Amino acid sequence: MPDVTPLPAALPQRMGSNAGQPLTRQDGLLKVTGRATYAADNHPEGLLHAVYVPATIARGRVTRLDVAAAKAHPGVVEVLTPANRPPLAQDPDDKPSMFSIRVEVLTPANRPPLAQDPDDKPSMFSIRVEVLTPANRPPLAQDPDDKPSMFSIRVEVLQDDSVRYAGQPIALVVAETLEAASEGARLLAPRYEAEPPRTGIELEPYEIGGVGFGMPPKIEKGDVAAGLSAAAQRVETVCDTPAQYHNAMEPHALVAQWDGDRLTLDMPNQAPVLASAGFANWFGIPAENVLIRCPFLGGGFGSKAVINGPQILTALAARTLGRPVKLALTRRQMFGPVGHRGQTRQWLKLGLDGTGKLTALSHHTRAVTASFDEFIEGASAPSRMTYASPAISTTHDGVRNDVGMPGAMRAPGEASGSAALEVAMDIAAEAADMDPLDFRLANYAETDPMSGLPYSSKALRECYAEGARAFGWAGRPRTARQMRDDAGMLVGWGMGTATFPCPMFAAEARATLRADGTALVETSLIDMGQGAWTAFAQIAADALGLDVAQVVLRGGASDLPDAGVAGGSGHTATAGLAIENAGGDTIRQLAEIAAADPNSPLHGTGNEGVVARGGRLYAAGDDSRSESYAEILARAGREALSGQGKGGRDPAAAQAHAMQSHGAVFAEVKVDPELGQIRVSRLVGAFAAGRIINPRMAESQLLGGMIWGASFALHEGAETDPRSGRILNADFGEYHVPVNADIPSARVLLIHEDDPHVNPLGVKGVGEIGISGTAGAIANAIWHATGVRVRRYPVRLEELA
Ligand code: MOS
């Protein structure tokens, strides 16, 4: 919810040049020398090890577990099953639960007024937040009561003996050693009463309640039917995208320890303050009794924004046994209870007038969700934020499978949706006999396609131009199968538009100037590996008029001011603004002390009359009058001086502007004409995402996103056995992700963009946009090489036969 502290009018000017520098990771040395402590690296005294048993059927009941055999194994301490599992304060009933964004906004009775209350105007996500309106919100499976819920993800905590998907935890074995726990889990030898699993997207669809985290299933403008029937040409496509499973470098792990009714959790999480409230809820203790420590994460990508069932069971086991318990998921266990990108089928219809302009755009997504809860991949979303069209329809429905809950995975909605939309646009360009880039320029959205609002900034034209130049797009043959390399490989070039919203959440930070003139900045910031720590240090240093070496950041724990969620590509903007405001508040107080002190050279200057720079306050325009922070504090007899700040979107700005990051991705592929083997040989992405705090980190983020886009196009996809409902390739041997040899050349261009509206820092976000547009660009390059249109991802060589 927007909650902003405006900068005080009389704020001292702060000078710094830390932001904008390509600093290396502040935590890099710790990581490459193995001194960074990840959750599973914690070994408290008396530690027990937990291993959970994943169901090997996808639907049915557990009829027998050989608990006696497991317990008889030396070292096994306890076996939790539905039969003996102690109660939880928030036991699952028919309602899904868990995950913990502040649910107050959903409750008519307790929701504070928002500056931007939903009306017909788009919100910060560029669409109407209908779920926030008491009058029109459809019922949710878990309507808010007095318990926080959040994104309504149901978790499995041994609440009964039913099996809802293969991989679901059906028992937890706790032992003195990992080996004993593993053997105990094996000895449980479950037996089942199995029912035929429901798998695949072909099953009967149903009308869904909401998309993603509660967005409306259907968003439309104009008359699509009329636009299609009036069109000179029509293009229709169907595109399938697979289920992709979270496989961050660090699989989920946690160490849970209790001290009375206080719970300490070492676990990776993208929103530790929210997660601590979630755990408090499950165990019926105050939120301040839960401490989550997550100084380092080996990737998150959305799966660590939520709490999952195995984590709750491990904390429960630790409480029951009165000893610390560790759980570390295996790679195979990542394919189940920790979320995944849901499978989709997407239907697109485009109408074109005689000049290659869209007359209508219709995008329908069918998404697979679990049998017991709903998370619908919002893949139609890119069709309302990318191209201009007088009529746009974006709709979704769902299909229930016996599968683990889908959830957020890097660029949820946009990744799968742009993969389909960009192929449809390429087919349309071919139909219009236009160059794909010219066709996109002909349909350039000068204002937000749905709301008509002006953009806060949009340098997409520059992205197209710079990306095309760097790639060498000019001179591309219009038709397919025109280019070969020296080795006789078919060569193709394709492109796609990248888009991602730039939401902000709510964050708080505290800055403390210390007697020696250095500063401590505190907020529950999360560095998943993306370099957030470093970017925040740069923002903090500039906010305090210090060098980055003089600032100590404390983050990665739930007992700090709430930095919100490291997700939605909004962490740098949101927590960064809180830090900026905390620094400003601190320097304002310092300037007041100096200005009021007759013994200070700055006496009488006032806040507006000083400049903070290099650890000193200067009288504006008179460098001969200055004093160091340490001197000011010492004379005032202060050991320290603290300021507070908040970060969030200014609601007025959100009502006046559409806010998006943009980019253009160009791809070259080489295809063996005999074997159909496909290689991405070159990728160039040009991105405009507002002010870039650290170009090295931003480039790395965008590169990582593009590589995931290549993975989406050619490599990743879970294969489910329709007979058993089990995932056939639940390991890195067969669930393919790109390696260095798969990405021989990839280049990122950062396109300059000043954005005075998005937030006072001018920062948009770079976490997710790199994946959007890339898969489509590669698919279009495959068509250009071979003449074969991509209908399903990942593209495999048999499709080209
Ligand atoms: Mo992300 S999928 O917003 O962690």
Ligand 1 site residues, Cβ closer than 6 angstroms: 270, 300-302, 305, 408-410, 412, 567-568
- Tell me, what's the pLDDT at 13? 81
- Tell me, what's the pLDDT at 209? 87
- Please state which CATH number belongs to domain 13-36+504-648: 3.30.365.10
Q: Which atom of ligand 1 is nearest to the CA of 568?
A: 3
Per CATH, is 435-502+650-801 categorized as 3.30.365.10?
yes
User: Could you tell me the distance, in angstroms and rounded to a whole number, from the CA of residue 412 to the centre of ligand 1?
Assistant: 7
Q: Which atom of ligand 1 is nearest to the CA of 409?
A: 2
Q: Which atom of ligand 1 is nearest to the CA of 301?
A: 4
Whether 150 shows a pLDDT value over 80: the answer reads no
User: Could you tell me the distance, in angstroms and rounded to a whole number, from the CA of residue 768 to the centre of ligand 1?
Assistant: 8
User: Could you tell me the distance, in angstroms and rounded to a whole number, from the CA of residue 571 to the centre of ligand 1?
Assistant: 10
Cβ proximity of 53 and 169 under 8 Å:
yes
Whether 346 shows a pLDDT value over 50: the answer reads yes
* Tokens (6 digits) for 518: 């250095």
DSSP character at residue 186: H
Q: Which amino acid is at 778?
A: I
Sign for the CA dihedral angle at 780, 786, 791, 796 comes to negative
Q: Which atom of ligand 1 is nearest to the CA of 566?
A: 4
* Host H or E run for residue 350: strand 344-352
Taking the C-alpha atoms of residue 408 and residue 527, their distance in angstroms, rounded to an integer, is: 18
Residues 416-446: tens digit of each pLDDT: 999 999 999 999 999 999 999 999 999 999 9
Indicate the range of 107-116, 204-213, 496-505 predicted with least confidence.
Answer: 107-116
Whole-number Cα distances in Å, 115 to 3, 123, 124, 600: 9, 11, 12, 42
User: Could you tell me the distance, in angstroms and rounded to a whole number, from the CA of residue 681 to the centre of ligand 1?
Assistant: 28
- Tell me, what's the pLDDT at 5? 45
Whether 281 shows a pLDDT value over 90: the answer reads no
Phi-psi region of 517 (alpha: psi -120 to 50; beta: other; left: phi over 0): left
Nearest to 11 by CA among 609, 597, 512: 609
Residues 406-425, mean pLDDT to the nearest whole number: 97
- Mean residue pLDDT of the chain comes to 90
Q: Which atom of ligand 1 is nearest to the CA of 412?
A: 2
Residues 516-520, mean pLDDT to the nearest whole number: 96
Residues 721-742, mean pLDDT to the nearest whole number: 96
| Identical topology for domains 13-36+504-648 and 435-502+650-801 | yes
User: Could you tell me the distance, in angstroms and rounded to a whole number, from the CA of residue 303 to the centre of ligand 1?
Assistant: 8
Taking the C-alpha atoms of residue 533 and residue 579, their distance in angstroms, rounded to an integer, is: 12
User: Could you tell me the distance, in angstroms and rounded to a whole number, from the CA of residue 568 to the centre of ligand 1?
Assistant: 5
Whether 99 shows a pLDDT value over 50: the answer reads no
Nearest to 378 by CA among 246, 241, 573, 236: 241
Whether 9 shows a pLDDT value over 70: the answer reads no
- Tell me, what's the pLDDT at 435? 98
Residue 683 three-state SS: strand
Residues 529-569: tens digit of each pLDDT: 999 999 999 999 999 999 999 999 999 999 999 999 999 99
Taking the C-alpha atoms of residue 251 and residue 40, their distance in angstroms, rounded to an integer, is: 9
Q: Which atom of ligand 1 is nearest to the CA of 270?
A: 4
Whether 512 shows a pLDDT value over 50: the answer reads yes
Whether 8 shows a pLDDT value over 50: the answer reads no
22 vs 103, higher pLDDT: 22
* Confidence band of 214 (pLDDT split at 50, 70, 90): confident
User: Could you tell me the distance, in angstroms and rounded to a whole number, from the CA of residue 569 to the centre of ligand 1?
Assistant: 7
Q: Pairing state of beta strands 13-15 and 610-613? A: parallel
User: Could you tell me the distance, in angstroms and rounded to a whole number, from the CA of residue 318 to the centre of ligand 1?
Assistant: 29
Whether 477 shows a pLDDT value over 50: the answer reads yes
Residues 135-150, mean pLDDT to the nearest whole number: 36
- Tell me, what's the pLDDT at 602? 95
Phi-psi region of 225 (alpha: psi -120 to 50; beta: other; left: phi over 0): alpha
* Confidence band of 113 (pLDDT split at 50, 70, 90): very low
- Provide CB contacts within 8 A for 794, sequence distance 6+: 242, 711, 712, 713, 714, 715, 716, 717, 736
Residues 104-127, mean pLDDT to the nearest whole number: 37
In this structure, the dihedral spanned by the alpha carbons of residues 130, 133, 139 and 140, taken in order and rounded to 10 degrees, is 70
Strands of 37-176, DSSP E? 48-54, 60-64, 76-80, 162-163, 169-175
Peptide bond into 794 cis (omega under 30): yes
Residues 441-464, mean pLDDT to the nearest whole number: 97
Q: Pairing state of beta strands 392-401 and 358-370? A: parallel
* Confidence band of 153 (pLDDT split at 50, 70, 90): low
Q: Which amino acid is at 679?
A: R
Please provide the DSSP assignment of 726-759 as one string: -BTT-STTTS----GGG-S-EEEEEPP---SSS-
Question: In sequence order, what are the beta bridge partners of 352?
Answer: 233, 358
Q: Which atom of ligand 1 is nearest to the CA of 567?
A: 3
Nearest to 213 by CA among 152, 269, 155: 152
Whether 252 shows a pLDDT value over 60: the answer reads yes
Q: Which atom of ligand 1 is nearest to the CA of 302?
A: 4
Residue to mutate, 151, 269, 341, 410, ligand 1, most ligand atoms under 8 Å from C-beta = 410
- Tell me, what's the pLDDT at 68? 97
Cβ proximity of 251 and 334 under 8 Å:
yes
User: Could you tell me the distance, in angstroms and rounded to a whole number, from the CA of residue 77 to the centre of ligand 1?
Assistant: 37
- Tell me, what's the pLDDT at 11? 64
Taking the C-alpha atoms of residue 519 and residue 538, their distance in angstroms, rounded to an integer, is: 13
Whether 104 shows a pLDDT value over 60: the answer reads no
The burial of 353, by beta-carbon neighbours within 10 Å (0-12 exposed, 13-18 middle, 19 or more buried), is given as: middle
Half-sphere exposure of 594 (CA within 13 A, CB side): 32
User: Could you tell me the distance, in angstroms and rounded to a whole number, from the CA of residue 238 to the centre of ligand 1?
Assistant: 26
Residue to mutate, 151, 274, 301, ligand 1, most ligand atoms under 8 Å from C-beta = 301
Q: Which protein residue's CA is at the shortest distance from atom 4 of ligand 1?
A: 302
Taking the C-alpha atoms of residue 695 and residue 143, their distance in angstroms, rounded to an integer, is: 43
Q: Which atom of ligand 1 is nearest to the CA of 408?
A: 2
Residues 44-58, mean pLDDT to the nearest whole number: 97
Cβ proximity of 53 and 329 under 8 Å:
no
DSSP character at residue 337: T
Rg (Cα) of the chain, in Å, rounded? 27
User: Could you tell me the distance, in angstroms and rounded to a whole number, from the CA of residue 189 to the centre of ligand 1?
Assistant: 37
Whether 92 shows a pLDDT value over 70: the answer reads no
- Tell me, what's the pLDDT at 714? 97
Taking the C-alpha atoms of residue 414 and residue 341, their distance in angstroms, rounded to an integer, is: 11
Q: Which atom of ligand 1 is nearest to the CA of 411?
A: 2
Q: Which amino acid is at 373?
A: D
- Provide CB contacts within 8 A for 170, sequence distance 6+: 52, 53, 54, 55, 62, 65, 81, 82, 158, 161, 163, 190
Indicate the range of 5-14, 117-126, 484-493 predicted with least confidence.
Answer: 117-126
Q: Break the chain into its structural domains and give their ranges.
A: 13-36+504-648, 435-502+650-801
User: Could you tell me the distance, in angstroms and rounded to a whole number, from the CA of residue 610 to the centre of ligand 1?
Assistant: 41
Whether 129 shows a pLDDT value over 50: the answer reads no
Q: How large is the angle between the packed helices 571-596 and 532-544, nearest 10 degrees?
A: 20
Taking the C-alpha atoms of residue 305 and residue 296, their distance in angstroms, rounded to an integer, is: 14
Residues 346-371, mean pLDDT to the nearest whole number: 97
- Tell me, what's the pLDDT at 137? 35
* Confidence band of 156 (pLDDT split at 50, 70, 90): confident
- Tell me, what's the pLDDT at 607? 76
Residues 408-415, mean pLDDT to the nearest whole number: 96
User: Could you tell me the distance, in angstroms and rounded to a whole number, from the CA of residue 746 to the centre of ligand 1?
Assistant: 23
The rounded percent of the chain whose pLDDT value lies above 90 is: 83
Residue to mutate, 375, 571, 768, 772, ligand 1, most ligand atoms under 8 Å from C-beta = 768
Whether 128 shows a pLDDT value over 80: the answer reads no
